[in-house]
Amino acid sequence: MARQLCQRSVDMRRAYGFTLVELIVVIVIIGIIAGTVTIYVGPAIQSYLDVKRRANLTDLADGAVRGMMRDIRSAVANSINVPNDQCFELVPASMGGRYRTAPNTTWDAAANAANKTQWVNTAVDTTVFDVMALTPANTAPVAGDYVVINNQTATDVYAAASTSRSAITNVEELPAANKLGLYRLTIGALKIDTGYDNARFAIVPASQQAVFYVCSGATGVNTSGDGKGTLYRFSKYGFAQNTSCPTPTSSTPIVATKVEKCTFVYDPNSGTPTLYTGYMQLKVKLTENNQSVQILVGTHTDNTP
């Protein structure tokens, strides 16, 4: 009886095992499944990763181009300088407005007019003037910013002894009750050309000054399939018109990396001679792991002083 129970126990234990044939069948099935995953699922996963990579590149390229377009559209008239198709320089304005072109004779003649109107007289140097309008609203320049008036060429605004740019030394907010204007700006002596009657001025922030975009090293892709170039944005280096692209340093702000190619083309007068509209074409190509995104856009800038 005991022998029968022992034999039955051994038989039950043997029932839980598997044969070599069963093992081989399982291995074959797993191989078939793995092959199916490799053939059908693998490319789908890789395609998803490629789409995600291109979407990220599109976002980066779009952000870089939008930033450049914003600066171009707000640039001081005739301030865009393009040494070659890998870089360009400009002077973005943060605000603009109109100044007083004639005195308020009624106010100035009044007995209580201790604070007389200050206007731009083109016959003499201007050192102070009243601001009559300013855009955007609820903004104001500060001492240290620069005022630019009647900039005719790309040379004027960058010159050390500029005939169109002057530093603001004082900003006075005028009382609304006397209707003299919004602000009174005191500037370094600036001789405004006789005959200039647009009364327009632009404000360039001291925190930025001139700006230079440089596409450095964009000469294709590296062994990893990534673009070799980098797009940089220089600022606050003063006002000095450059004849070549400056060399970036480790502290130069980066706009975009993995740049395979970029090209900047500028036409200072893309319309008729009376339109004074410049046109900048921007082409930027970013590449990562041999996946590329290229953006080609154009934007206008107002070159009317």
201: how many CB neighbours lie within 10 A of its CB? Answer: 28
3-state secondary structure 248-301: CCCCCCEEEEEEEEEEEEEECCCCCCCCCEEEEEEEEEEEECCEEEEEEEEEEE
Residue 272 and residue 216 share a domain: yes
> Are residues 146 and 292 part of one domain?
no
Query: Is 15 part of any domain?
Result: no
185 with 230, same domain? no
Query: Do the domain assignments include residue 25?
Result: no
Residue 195 and residue 141 in one domain: yes
Is 151 found in the same domain as 176? yes
pLDDT for position 63 = 96
pLDDT band at 36 (very low <50, low <70, confident <90, very high): confident
Domain final residue pick, 174, 204, 234: 204
Could you tell me if 213 and 274 lie in one domain? yes
- Please state the rounded mean pLDDT for residues 179-186: 91
Poorest-pLDDT segment among 9-13, 16-20, 285-289: 9-13
* 101 & 181 share domain: yes
> Residue 45: what pLDDT?
74
Q: Which residue has the higher pLDDT, 128 or 270?
A: 128
Give the whole-angstrom CA distance, residue 220 versus residue 292: 11
**Same domain for 182 and 100:** yes
Report helix, strand or coil for 166.
strand
Q: Write out the residue range of the structural domain in which residue 172 sits.
A: 95-107+116-204
Asked if residue 185 is part of any domain, the answer here is yes
Instruction: Say which range, 108-117, 187-196, 222-231, has the weakest mean pLDDT.
Output: 108-117
**Predicted confidence band of residue 58 (pLDDT cuts 50, 70, 90):** very high
For residue 158, give the nearest of 87, 100, 209, 215 by alpha carbon: 209
DSSP letter assigned to residue 248: P
CB 277 within 8 Å of CB 270: yes
Among 57-66, 140-149, 213-222, 273-282, the least confident range: 273-282
In angstroms, rounded to a whole number, what is the distance separating the alpha carbons of residues 131 and 182? 6
State yes or no: pLDDT of 14 exceeds 60.
no
Q: What's residue 34's pLDDT?
A: 80
| Listed residues 179, 204, 229: the one ending a domain | 204
Q: What is the pLDDT of residue 15?
A: 56
Residue 30 lies in a domain: no
Alpha helices per DSSP H over 85-175: 105-109
Task: Please give the model's pTM, rounded to 2 decimal places.
Answer: 0.82
Binned at pLDDT 50, 70 and 90, residue 204 comes out as very high
Is 280 part of a structural domain of the chain? yes
For the chain, the straight-line distance linking the first and the last C-alpha, in angstroms and rounded, comes to 116
Taking the C-alpha atoms of residue 232 and residue 252, their distance in angstroms, rounded to an integer, is 7
Residue 141 lies in a domain: yes
pLDDT the model gives residue 13: 55
155 and 227 both lie in a single domain: no
Query: Do 129 and 255 belong to one domain?
Result: no
Q: Does pLDDT of 8 surpass 60?
A: no
Position 33 scores a pLDDT of 84
Domain closes at, from 177, 204, 231: 204
304 and 79 Cβ atoms separated by less than 8 Å? no
- 184 domain residue, yes or no: yes
**Total structural domains in the chain?**
2
What sign results for the dihedral spanned by CA atoms 232, 233, 238, 240? positive
Looking at the structure, tell me whether residues 294 and 157 fall in a common domain.
Answer: no
The pLDDT of 163-167, averaged and rounded, is 95
Average pLDDT (262-282) is 84
The residue that leads in pLDDT, 13 or 229, is 229
As a whole number, the mean pLDDT across the chain is 89
Q: Please check the confidence at residue 277 and state whether its pLDDT lies above 90.
A: no
Residue 4 lies in a domain: no
Closest CA to 131 of 150, 118, 112: 118
Indicate if 274 and 248 belong to the same structural domain.
yes
Span 77-126, pLDDT tens digits: 999 999 999 999 999 999 999 999 999 888 888 766 667 899 999 999 99
Return the pLDDT at 112.
Answer: 63
